[in-house]
Amino acid sequence: MHINPKHVLIAGVILCIAIVGISFRFGEQLKPVRAAVGSVFTPMQKGINIVGTFISDKLDNFKNINDLLAENEDLKQQINMLTYENKMLLQDKYELDGLRELYELDQKYLDYPKVAARVISKDPGNWYSVFTIDKGTKDGLAKGMNVMAGNGLVGIITECYYNYSIVRSIIDDKSNVWGMFLKSSDDCVVQGDLQLMDEGKIRVELISRDAEIMDGYEVVTSHISPNFHQGILIGYISNIELDSSNMTKSAYLTPAVDFDHLEEVLIITELKEQPQLKEPPTDTEVTIDVDALAETDEDTDTLIDEENQVDVNSDTASDEDTNTGDYDTEIGNDATTNSDVTE
């Protein structure tokens, strides 16, 4: 049998109304019944309230947790965004510091025209001994141009192409640079040494025995260097010792440039001028004017004919005045004279 829920609801409402009416109408008589019913349902109601409150609290907690999770995601996104912006600001700061150093270096060597470049790759290893920059012949660069960074000399361009160049630094094993002590003007040779560079130093050789130098003296590029402009700071001297030959001194040099971190460099876009030395000629070229020589020969022949004619006339006159016995002697003299002129 199918019962309509609507009818059940109506019956329940009527029953509730009837109970309420009876309880008001017969309140005194129903007190025992009310007390009995209350003693039964009150504990149940308390338990139901406790369970309802617990469920309500948990639902509120779940709602709060969901709100906190959503807020946490928003905060994470904000943190990621702020972290990225902070990294970009730090990168800009480092780049600005590098550009500031290049500017200060540019102001230090105002006599030389320069262009900035960025390091784009390097050879394997800890140090920037050989590396590549992003400028080349299209930017006015050429092989042999000096490269600077930080506080001084980095190296020299050894290969130059259209849009990039290769630089060999002064710490490379193949590098030798003529240097000069700034205070004493004594010359020396700065030699690259990658193994020694692990201690932050390279070698200095061929220092004059009489050089009056001390630890901490500045070494700059020398005027006798064929490839490097004069006066560029190379580094600072230390550990000066007399060589075993007792003829020269040697020492260590701490470079003025941080070869562990190179990002931007300055290139002097002007090659060092080489002195024009006049060498003695090895071969002497002799130019012979054939026409002039022919004219000279004709003049010589004419002169010989005239002298021969004079000699003949002189001989004829002599024959008239001399005896026949003297004739051979005169002919002999004449033959000798003609022989001298012909040679």
Report CA-CA distances (Å) from 75 to 46, 61, 81, 337.
Answer: 42, 20, 10, 127
Query: 155 with 212: CB under 8 angstroms?
Result: no
Q: Give the Cα separation of 171 and 149 in Å (integer).
A: 14
User: Does the reported pTM lie above 0.75?
Assistant: no
Q: Is the pLDDT of residue 332 over 70?
A: no
Q: What is the pLDDT of residues 107-159, one digit of tens each?
A: 878 888 999 999 999 999 889 999 999 999 999 999 999 999 988 999 999 99
Evaluate the CA torsion angle 55, 57, 58, 64 in order and state its sign: positive
Token representation of residue 77: 């996104």
What is the pLDDT, as a whole number, of residue 48? 74
CB-CB contact of 147 with 167 (8 Å): yes
For the cut 90, the answer to whether the pLDDT of residue 166 exceeds it is yes
pLDDT band at 41; cut points 50, 70, 90: low
238 forms beta bridges with 252
Q: What average pLDDT does range 305-309 have in this prediction?
A: 53
